Amino acid sequence: MRWLWVVAGVLLALPASAREAKDYKASEQLIVNCIEAAEKALLQTGVDITRQCIGIETRNCDQTTEDTYQSNKRMYCASAEAEVWSRLMDAALATLITRYSAWDAEGGKKQTGVEYEPVVPALRQAHEAWEQGKDCEFARIQPGQGTDKYDVRARCGRDQVADRALLYRRWLTRQPY
């Protein structure tokens, strides 16, 4: 029972401006608008600026959100944006799987003299390998001591999932790397 009073005392001692992860949001529409504008610019100029969309909501959140703990704020802002990128990646992956499932069904029927390799199993395998290959733990320990350890892993994760979402979008439009 004593520990309950200790926990209650610690919680009451926290500053009123401390926020929780659930308090942070990122605008999916803003990110999608940025991507679509960058993709349009790519078609017009041949210059790929889609990566400039990564971090747009993290920066916005960091500049407009008050929080006593700056490292937590940076972490929560990046994590909120990563959730948006993850949804975009999952949607693009699902669309790819749907498209290539039909392709696989037709591909096995064609007589081209070359053995058809199903695309969907390879896509799933590539995605699973990507999921296992995250290197944000190394990024976390790189800064050394200090509060950067809290937010660098979130920013790394955001960047990785955003890069994968953009790759899947390129694959949907049949663009090369």
User: Per-residue confidence of the chain (177 residues) as pLDDT tens digits?
Assistant: 333 333 333 333 344 345 566 778 899 999 999 999 999 999 899 999 999 999 999 999 988 888 777 888 889 899 999 999 999 999 999 999 999 998 888 876 776 677 888 999 999 999 999 998 777 877 777 766 666 777 888 899 999 999 999 999 999 987 766
Give the torsion through C-alpha atoms of 61, 64, 68, 74, to 10 deg. 20
Residue 96 near residue 88, CB atoms below 8 Å: no
Terminal CA-CA length for the chain = 59
Number of domains within the chain = 1
Domain assignment present for 7: no
Cα–Cα distance for residue pair 81/27, rounded to 1 Å: 8
Regarding pTM above 0.85, the answer is no
**Structural domain for 57, as ranges:** 21-172
Q: How far is CA 64 from the centre of its chain?
A: 21
**Residues 172, 86, 59, 156: is their CA dihedral positive or negative?**
negative
Domain assignment present for 146: yes
Domain assignment present for 150: yes
